Chain A
Amino acid sequence: MSWPRGLACIWAIAINTVRESVRSKLLYGLLFFAVLMIGAGAIVASLSYVEGERILQDVGMGSVRLFGVAIAILVGINLIHREVDRRTVYTILSKPLSRGEFLVGKFLGLTLTIWIQMAIMGVAFVGVSLATGAPLGVPHLVFFFLAGVELALVVGIATFFSAFTTPVLAAFFTSGVWGVGHLSRQLRDLGAASESAPFEWATWLLHRVLPDLESFNLASEAAHLLPVTASDWVLPALYGAGYLTLVLFAAVAVFERRDLR
């Protein structure tokens, strides 16, 4: 990967990917429903006599994460596959850029798109919270930051699967990793409590190999405005960055070897 020409190519691919998303009706639809859900939190909260503000924010933060992951998976699984399938990749890779630069550019473009959408959802969340008098604080900021890291990681995983398999399989694998990634702590604890050594070993391995996505989930701390220390967000962010780097290296290695027939 040459520098900084490589960087310029990555950026050109990324900006083009953002432009594709901006001109896509699907993402506007998803974003509309996400904002609608955040707003609907106020209605759900009004039905409760207790902890209405917490319910409002739980629904809002849940919507942000759910719709963020939906966009990451829906778009991410097609990210590389569609380029190869439609053969747009032929003209791009005939230019002086490597497959790695292309793949990283596509990943970066989708991640930027999702972060922009998260920012819009964040504005809606803050707006609804202020309108209903729900408290806001630093934990909410940290929640959004770590949700952004998690979504970047999910995009990375989707990109990895998209580099060598079909969108259906990539969706299946990415959703699976996302689901198990959120349950792996509980699975590990379950394994540790069991009397079966192989099960304990398997659940421990699963927890180690798959991303521990619960480490990015600070929704509960945010909803209760619990104090957040630097280690609560710096360590997960570093873990996410490290894991993402490995996933992208693997994706590039797979894509570099792929025969584009």
Chain B
Amino acid sequence: MTRAEIVRVDALTKDVRPGFGLRTKRVLHDVTFCVREGEIFGFVGPNGAGKTTTLKILMGLSRATSGSARVLGHDVSETAFRRHVGFLPENPYFYDYLTGRETLDFYAKLCGLSRAQRRERVDVLLAQVGLDHAADARIRTYSKGMQQRLGIAQAIVHDPDVVFLDEPMSGLDPIGRKDVRDLVLSLREQGKTVFMNTHILHDVELVCDRVAIIAGGRIRYEGAIQDFIGAGERLTDLLVMGVPAQVGAMVEERFAAHLQGVGERIEVRVSEKHVDAALAVMLEAGARVVSVSPHRASLEQIFLNAVEESRK
């Protein structure tokens, strides 16, 4: 059964005036895609590709020159449907004279939550994003990562059906990034739809169900994440120590591997089918294995191809 369309973007174009003159520059070219109910959709592209512009149009902050954008079946220029929509902008800014608790209470008020609902929801969210210890501190004392966490909390304070996240991992340390990934996955478990702007492919691979790659203001690819990951030759990254030089050269030649020194360690990228043989050769020569991990080359490759194509 086909799931409902939560976000529908059709032939969206956006022209901007770079300066004071009348000359315009097209930053979005016929952008078309859809996001279905309950999926985590990755909107991927390099800096300046048009990701944030598209998101701003979806949030009604910016107007499209032509085309249409609908969220939950409503035109994005409407306001009432936003009761069901959450949004985290890139590098969110808040009133620095408010505390974290006051900030969430303020946003909850704007969403129409009652006093009792606000009190309960704010406490739960502060704990959920790990800010309960700083709930009553002014935001001017918050680090970038704490502000990012607060941004995520305000985006979901009213328990929306669809959440738009613009670079949600920005400014977060590895633990924070994992927390956000877990949070995004928990939103999907709750049946929410998540639209995530990002240029970090690793995050996309870990959480997204479907992805669209935008570069130069055009959608280059759109499809399920498994289609990207499954495409092309599967590679594996081996991190090993103590590999004699001549053995390294032999592995490189015999298995068409790619070797790169990382301090005393060597990273060996080799086809999945040669992993066992390459490892056997190196272990026999006295090497020690640090890690073995699959290399997701296909999404990265498609992403790089898309960027390359947009530059032509």
Contacts and interface: CB of A to CB of B under 8 A. Distances in A.
Given A8-B109, A261-B62, A94 B82 contact: yes
Given A12-B109, A95-B107, A259-B62, A90 B83 contact: no
Contacts of B62: 259-261
Output the residue of A16, A90, A91 with the most chain B CB within 10 A: A91
B151 interface: yes
Given A8-B112, A12-B106, A98 B79 contact: yes
A2 interface: yes
Interface size class of A (residues with CB under 8 A): 20 to 34
Interface in B6-60: 16, 56, 59-60
A208 interface: no
A88 B95 contact: yes
A90 B110 contact: no
Contacts of B81: 96
Given A2-B80, A96-B111, A16 B61 contact: no
Contacts of A91: 87-89, 92-94, 107, 151, 154-155
Nearest to B109: A12
A61 to B, nearest CB: 32
B225 interface: no
Interface in B76-123: 79-83, 85-89, 91-95, 97-98, 106-107, 109-112
A16 B112 contact: no
B111 A95 contact: yes
A86 B112 CA distance: 25
B63 interface: yes
B112 A94 contact: no
Contacts of A19: 97-98
Nearest to A92: B110
A129 B80 CA distance: 53
Given A90-B61, A261-B62, A97 B79 contact: yes
Given A12-B110, A16-B106, A96 B89 contact: no
Given A12-B110, A16-B106, A259-B62, A95 B82 contact: yes
A110 interface: no
B59 A20 contact: no
B97 A97 contact: no
B97 A20 contact: yes
Output the residue of A23, A95, A96 with the most chain B CB within 10 A: A95
Contact of B93 (A2, A9, A24, A88): A88
Given A20-B95, A23-B97, A96 B112 contact: yes
Contacts of A259: 62-63
Contacts of A260: 56, 61-62
B95 A96 contact: no
Interface in A163-180: none
Nearest to A2: B80
Interface in A1-24: 2, 5, 8-9, 12-13, 16, 19-20, 23-24
Output the residue of A86, A93, A96 with the most chain B CB within 10 A: A96
Contacts of A94: 59-61, 82, 85-87, 89, 164
Contacts of B88: 91
Contacts of B92: 87, 90-91
Interface in A59-96: 86-88, 90-96
Contact of B59 (A86, A93, A261): A93
B80 A9 contact: no
Contacts of B110: 9, 12-13, 92, 95-97
Contacts of B164: 94
A8 B110 CA distance: 8
Nearest to B112: A5
Contacts of B79: 96-98
Nearest to A105: B110
A6 to B, nearest CB: 9
A197 B116 CA distance: 67
Output the residue of A12, A86, A92, A94 with the most chain B CB within 10 A: A94
Nearest to A89: B61
Interface of B: 16, 56, 59-63, 79-83, 85-89, 91-95, 97-98, 106-107, 109-112, 151, 154-155, 158, 164
Interface of A: 2, 5, 8-9, 12-13, 16, 19-20, 23-24, 86-88, 90-98, 259-261
27 contacts: A12-B106, A12-B109, A19-B98, A20-B97, A87-B89, A88-B93, A88-B95, A90-B87, A91-B87, A91-B93, A91-B94, A91-B107, A91-B154, A92-B107, A92-B110, A93-B60, A93-B61, A94-B61, A94-B86, A94-B87, A94-B89, A95-B107, A95-B110, A96-B79, A96-B110, A96-B112, A98-B79
Given A90-B61, A95-B111, A260-B61, 10 more contacts: A8-B112, A12-B110, A16-B106, A87-B92, A90-B93, A91-B107, A93-B60, A93-B61, A94-B82, A96-B81
